[in-house]
Chain A
Amino acid sequence: MKPVQRRFQPPWSRPSSLQQRLRTALARQPVRRNIARAMNGLVDKRRAAFPDAQTLEALRDQGQAIRDQALDHLPTLLRELEANCTANGIQVHWAETPAEANAQVLDIVRAAGADAVLKGKSMVSEEIGLNAALAAAGIEALETDLGEWIIQLAGEAPAHIVAPAVHLSRQEVAARFRTHFPELEIGEDIADLTALARGLLRDRFARMRVGVTGVNFLVAETGSLCLIENEGNGRLCTTLPEVHIAITGIEKVIARLDQLPPLLRLLTRSATGQPATTYVNLISGPRRTSERDGPHEVHLILLDHGRARMQADPEQRAILRCIRCGACMNHCPVYTRVGGHGYGTVYPGPLGAVLEPRLQGLQLQGELAEASSLCGACAEVCPVRIPLPQLIRRVRRDQRARQARPGLWSLWSRLQARPLQARRFTRALAGLAPALNVALRWLPSPWTRSREPPRLARQTLADLAEQEGFADD
C-alpha cells in the first residue's frame, strides 16, 4: 500500500502501530461493509430476543450475581471443581502460562499417539496460540467450526469471538474454497458452501483420535463442562475421538448447575439472538464401562494467564464476569468500523481493550484502551453488566501511571485549578480569536486532517455573565 503523503508530521501526530493497523482496517471498504452488515444483523436479532426490558434487566441482574458469586469465591470453587471433576474421571491440569497449557496439550496428544487433532471453536486456544504450537511439533490441527475452518484455510485470525469469519462475504468464502479445492465445482450459495464444508470435514472426523474444544461454563458442584454450539461439530469433537481435551480460563467456573440456564439464556440471546443453541453439551466424565460411546479420556486444562491477578483486584475482577457473547463488539462503533483484525489481538473490541492489556501487558497492548470513544454502548448491552468504559479508563490510568509523563496535562490542570488565571487565559484567547482561528486551521493536528477546527468566540461566557449580572462569587 502506498503511504499517504503529508506536508509535515509533528511528533505527536506520528501514528503508532495500533493506529496504523486501525487505519489500514478502516481503509478496507469491503471488510467494513461485511462487518457492518453482520453487526447490524446481530444487533437487530439481540433486540428482538429481548422484547421486554424488565425481563432483560432482571435476567442481567441474575447473570451478574451468579458470575460475581463465582468470582468472589474463585479459589474455593476451583478446588471444588477439581475434586468433582476428578471424581467423575476428568483429569484436571493447571496451566499458569500459555506455554504451559500448550505443553500439556502436546503431552496428551503425544501420549495418545496422534499426529493430528480435531478442534472445536475455542478462543482460549487462540489466546495461547495452540495451533502454532501444535504445528511446530508436527501435529496438524483441523478446525471444525465452519467459520474457524474458513479462516484456517485462509491463514487468518478470527475477526470476531463468536463469528470468526464475519469479515468475509459468501463470494469471498467461495473464492477461498476454490483456491484450496481447485478440483471441486464451487458455487456461491450459502447452503451449498456449508454442505461442501460439512462433507469435507465429516470425512476426516472418524479418523481422528484427539478432540480439542473450549468450554462455556464449568459447573463446580457437579464437576461438569458445558459447551454450546450450533453446528454439531462440538459434539463430534467431544464424543468421537478417544481423547477429549477441554481448555479454558479459570474464570469460567460457576457454583451450581441451576445457575447454568439463566447464563445460557443471556449468552445465546446476547450473541446471536437465539433462544437456545442447537447443541448444549454437558460433559461429566469419560465413557463409563456400561457406555458404548464417548471418549476414553477427558482432560480439562485450566489456564490462568493473568486471571488470578485480575481476580485479586476488586475493580478489574468485573471483566472476568464476561461470558464471551460478543455483544460489546457488535454494538461498538469502533469495532463495527475496523473489525477484529484492526485491533491485532485475539480478543477485539471493548472486551479486548480491557482484557488484552492484562493478558499481554500494558507495555504491549495498553494502547488498545485508546481505541474507544467511551460512548458506553458496550456496557448498555453487556449481559453481566461489566462496566466496560470504567475498565477502559482504568487501563488508561494504569498506562499513565506506568509512563508517568503528564506533560501538557499538568500545565492544563494547574491552569484550570486556578480560576482567576483560567479566566484571564480564556479571555486572552478570546481577544486573539480572529488570529487564533486562522492559525488553528493551518496548524497540523490530527483533528484538522478531516475536520475544520472549532472557532473561538470573541468573548467568553464568563465575561458575558459578568456583563449581564449573573456572575457572583
Chain B
Amino acid sequence: MPESPPSVIFFGTCLINSLAPQAGLAAMRLLKLAGAQVRFPRAQSCCGQPAYNAGFDAQARQVARAQLDALAGTEPVVVPSASCAGMFRHQYPLLFAGHPEQARAEQLAGRVVDFCAYLQRVLAPAWTDHGPPVTVALHHSCAARRELGVTQEAHALLEALAGVTVIEPERAHECCGFGGTFALKQPEISAAMTADKAEALRATGAVVVLSQDLGCLTSLDGYWRRQQAGRQFEVQTGLQVQHIAEFLWQRVASAAVQDGLPPRDTLGAPQ
C-alpha cells in the first residue's frame, strides 16, 4: 500500500498573483509532480506585510484575519516567497499578540513553510534535468537568508540538476534594495542598492538570475530594463530574472507535461 500523498495548502502571494502567475502555477505543479496534493484556497489575498512594515498594524491585521480564515486547517501552508512566509511565521504571532486571534495566528505560523524548504526537505524529489547546460546566479532575499534561514534548500534543489551550475554574487549577504514600501519612501537609496546588487549579479557572468522572492526580482528587472531602454539595438545588458519555481519546472517537466503550461507571452509576463 502506498502512503497517502501529503496534502498542502498553497498560498500564492499577491505579487505572484498579479505579476508572475506562471511562477505560482509552476510551484503548484512541482509540488504535485513531487507527490503532494495541492489545494489553492480561493479566499486568499495578501499576507498583509506591506501595511505591517509601513506601521499600519490595524490594517495589516484586517488583511491577516482574512488569511487566517482562508488558510485554516492542519496541513502545511507552502509559500513561494520567503518574505511572505517570514511574515506568517514570525510576524503574525507578534501582530496578533493579545488579540483574540492569537492562538490561530500561532497555529498558522507553525504550519507555514517556504516553498523551496518544503520541496527539498519534505518531498525530496529526485528529478531528471531536461534542460541544456546553464549557469544561473542565485539571489537570496533577506527573509530567506536571515528571517527563515532557507538558503541551503534553494541551493540544493538547483545543484541536484545535472545541467545547472549555481553561482552567488559578491556581497551576496547584502540587501537588494527592494524592501517593499522602502523602494517608494527612499527611492534613491533603494535604487543605489539595487544598482550595486544588479552589477554584482551581472559580474557573475550568468544569464539568468533566480530567487525565491519576486520582490527582489521586480526591482532588479526594473533596473536592467531601464538600463536597456533606448538601446534596443545593442547587446542585452541585463540578466533574465525568473522565480526559482518557474525555472525548476522548465528544467524538470518533460515536454509532454509542460504542454499544459500557458506560454509566457499570453501571460504578459517578462518577454
Interface residues of A (CB under 8 A from B): 19, 22-23, 26, 333-334, 337-338, 369-377, 379-380, 390, 393, 395-400, 406, 409-410, 412-420, 422-423, 426, 429-430, 433-434, 437, 445-447, 449-466, 468, 470-473
Contact = CB atoms under 8 A, between A and B. Distances in A.
Interface stretch (B104-112, B123-131, B173-181, B203-211): B173-181
A288 B44 CA distance: 74
A433 B226 contact: no
Contacts of A454: 19, 218, 221-222
Interface of B: 10, 12, 14, 16-22, 24-25, 28-29, 38-46, 48, 50-60, 62-63, 65-66, 70, 94, 142, 146-147, 173-175, 177-180, 182-195, 218-219, 221-223, 225-226, 229, 260, 262, 266-270
A406 B61 CA distance: 14
Contact of B187 (A406, A450, A466): A450
B25 A397 contact: no
Contact of A375 (B60, B175, B218, B266): B175
A373 B177 contact: yes
B12 to A, nearest CB: 4
A453 B60 contact: no
A379 B175 CA distance: 14
A337 B270 CA distance: 31
Given A454-B221, A461-B21, A465-B24, 11 more contacts: A370-B185, A372-B179, A375-B174, A412-B51, A416-B46, A416-B63, A446-B185, A456-B19, A459-B268, A464-B25, A470-B28
Contacts of A375: 142, 146, 174-175, 179
B16 A409 contact: no
B47 to A, nearest CB: 9
A420 B188 CA distance: 37
Contact of B193 (A333, A370, A396, A472): A333
A110 to B, nearest CB: 45
For the complex, would chain A's binding face be called helix, strand, loop or mixed by DSSP majority?
helix
Contacts of A380: 146
Contact of B42 (A377, A396, A414, A473): A473
A436 to B, nearest CB: 10
A470 B38 contact: yes
A455 B270 contact: yes
Contacts of B10: 465, 470
Contacts of B12: 461-462, 465
Given A380-B146, A434-B268, A472 B188 contact: no
A130 to B, nearest CB: 31
A105 B47 CA distance: 53
Interface centre among A398, A426, A452 (most CB of B within 10 A): A452
Contact of A333 (B25, B29, B175): B175
Contact of B189 (A337, A422, A434, A463): A337
B174 to A, nearest CB: 5
A376 B218 CA distance: 20
A172 B73 CA distance: 64
Nearest to A460: B17
Given A333-B175, A333-B177, A464-B25, A370 B268 contact: no
Nearest to A465: B40
Given A337-B193, A457-B268, A465-B12, A447 B222 contact: yes
B15 to A, nearest CB: 8
Given A423-B42, A473-B41, A464 B262 contact: yes
A460 B260 contact: no
B55 A471 contact: no
Contacts of A337: 189, 192-193
A379 to B, nearest CB: 8
A417 B43 CA distance: 9
14 contacts: A377-B173, A390-B94, A400-B54, A413-B48, A416-B66, A419-B43, A420-B43, A450-B194, A452-B221, A452-B222, A459-B268, A465-B10, A466-B42, A468-B25
A215 B62 CA distance: 47
B66 A418 contact: yes
Nearest to A18: B186
A93 B58 CA distance: 43
Contacts of B58: 406
